[in-house]
Amino acid sequence: MNTENSFAASETNYSQCNVLIVGGGPAGLATALMLAKRGWKNITVLEKRPTAGYYEPDKSFSYQIDGRGQKFTDYLELTHQLSTISVPSTEFYLTTIKPDGSRKTFKLPIVDPKRKTAYWLPRRAFLLLLYQEIERDWQDSITVLFNTSCLQINKIAINNAEEKLEIVVKGENGNIVKFAPNLLVGCDGLNSIVRHTLKEWDKSGSDKFEMKLFPSPSSGLKYKVLSLPPNLPLDRKGEEHAVSTMAYAIRGAFKGRTRSVSLGLLPLKNPDEPRTANIITYPDHEIWELKNSEELYNFLEPAFPQLPIRQIVSPQEADRFAKSEGGSFPIPQYCSGLHFLLKANQSCATGIVLLGDAIHCFPPDIGQGVNSALEDVCVLNEALSRSNDDISLALPLYESLRLPDVKALVRLAQTAFPWQYNQDPLRRNLWSVNFFLRLLLSRLLPFIFSSPAFLLIQNQQLSYQQIWAMVQRTTQILYLLGLIFIVGYLAVVLKVAEI
């Protein structure tokens, strides 16, 4: 492991400045690869989990890497490899299974044929893809330290005009190590220690490292993930088995806000991998009160009479599920400070930059968490290219290029598709009317009306900022038409009343 001394040297060649990345999730591993590809050396990633492919049942959800995320995989020439371990969106078939066992299979409509094929794969498989790329081609530049946590970040004055960073880290064996990087990258997710530290340091009074919250109808929903065997039986007679590449929506028999439940299974390329079913519902739902495997079986058996529950949920898994804390969908949020520069009077600046969930976080409604994190990495790459890898220029440029999109992304996450978890049938239906009205109008009068946000987001050539502007313009026109309609209607009513 590198020690403070090995990191303290101040290089004059910026591409050789030392980098410490906190967090080995998608944003952290992708940033390390991007910097290594640019020729940077001595890049260290700190990750508190034990391995890249570590199986965390409640984080075993699937990602759809779309055209936006593929800007990064194209840059690293990883898209072909990605496609070989994923299910393409062009082959996305969904089977719904009702409580009486009746089923219907349909192909997800491809609304925009020009849209780039997106790829579905588990989070773990995507992290392994990135990590294996590091192991294969970038070992000389990147070191990933697992079981290693960033504990503290200090800013140390060298003299009146210069400061350096000191990062206190707890390593694998519990030993404390200190790093003094020239660039610190915060990719440590929503509860980022890097962002929290910057919030404490920031004396500008702007609260720019404070998350700004934009509540949505899906924020606060609770989720847990149930692990099921590969090729699980889908009926009580065991005649039909799940196909790994098929998505399933298994509807429960219970009705009512705190009882009704469904299982959602996303497609998987590897037929030998366990299937995972997402259960997402209100925090006061009955299922979260179940304390042990027997209570869970007693709930799931009548809830899903079409399934051989005891056969597909092992007692160990039932117990784990009942005892797991699960997670809850965050309120859509962002912070407006994406970088921080320390005082420097030398040729090599010292700075801190934030990417991924550390700066923008929201429920998975629009499938943009990982894609926007990968796009952050591409924007940082662009800022570095435009400033010749000079941190003092690149970090402010990254913030000015990315912040407008970050703000727009969070507003889109708040409104684009928050009613998809069967929370409230009436509100969902109203949302659907709005969606199909916009879709119809955009097909009939494309120069006046834009498509619904959920579809526009899939077009990686449009920035989040452009999409938000298009959506708002359509909303304003719809309001105006609504107003004209109401005024016209009242005028006719008054006229008729006069007669």
User: Which residue number, 198 or 344, has a Cβ lying nearer to ligand FAD?
Assistant: 198
Burial 145-173 (b: 16+ CB within 10 A, else e): bbbbbbeebebeeeeeeebbbbbebbeee
Min dist CB 169 to ligand FAD, Å, is 8
The Cα–Cα gap between 169 and 2 comes to 11
Interacting residues of 127 by C-beta distance below 8 A, sequence separation 6+: 24, 25, 26, 29, 52, 53
Smallest gap from Cβ 25 to ligand FAD, in A, equals 2
Q: Which is nearer to ligand FAD, 48 or 386 (CB)?
A: 48
Shortest gap between Cβ of 92 and ligand FAD (angstroms)? 13
Dist. CA 44–CA 146, nearest whole Å: 11
Nearer Cβ to ligand FAD (75/223): 223
**Minimum distance between the CB of residue 314 and ligand FAD, rounded to whole angstroms?**
22
Between 103 and 196, name the residue whose CB sits nearer to ligand FAD.
Answer: 196
Q: Identify the H or E element spanning 292.
A: none
CA distances from residue 482 to 426, 459, 474 in whole angstroms, order as listed: 21, 29, 12
Q: How far is the CB of 168 from ligand FAD (least distance, A)?
A: 11
Minimum distance from CB of 49 to ligand FAD (Å)?
Answer: 5
Find all residues with CB under 8 Å of 160, minimum gap 6, and list them: none
Q: Is the separation of the CB atoms in 409 and 464 below 8 Å?
A: yes
Closer residue to ligand FAD, CB minimum distance, 308 or 327? 327
Q: What's the rounded Cα separation, in Å, for the pair 466 and 215?
A: 22
Cα 70 from Cα 78, distance rounded (Å) = 9
The residue among 317 and 357 lying less far from ligand FAD, judged by its C-beta, is: 357
Q: Which residue lies nearer to ligand FAD by CB, 190 or 393?
A: 190
- Token pair recorded at residue 416: 């684009």
Nearer Cβ to ligand FAD (124/251): 124
Output the smallest distance, CB 369 to ligand FAD, in A.
Answer: 2
Strand order in the sheet with 162-170: 149-159, 162-170, 176-179
Helix/strand/coil for 438: helix
Binding site for ligand FAD (CB under 6 A): 22-28, 46-49, 61, 63-64, 149-150, 187-189, 193, 223, 327, 356-357, 364, 367-371, 373
Q: How far does Cα 227 stand from its chain's mean position?
A: 21
CA distances from 343 to 18, 156, 339, 480 (A): 17, 10, 13, 52
Instruction: Give the nearest distance from C-beta 294 to ligand FAD in angstroms.
Output: 27
User: Dihedral sign, CA of 462, 464, 467, 469?
Assistant: negative
Q: Which is nearer to ligand FAD, 172 or 294 (CB)?
A: 172
Nearer CB in complex with ligand FAD: 23/332: 23
Smallest distance from the beta carbon of 184 to ligand FAD, in angstroms?
12
What is the C-alpha to C-alpha distance for residues 218 and 284, in angstroms, rounded to an integer? 14
Around Cβ 5, how many Cβ atoms within 10 Å? 9
Minimum CB separation of residue 63 from ligand FAD in Å reads 5
17 DSSP 8-state letter: -
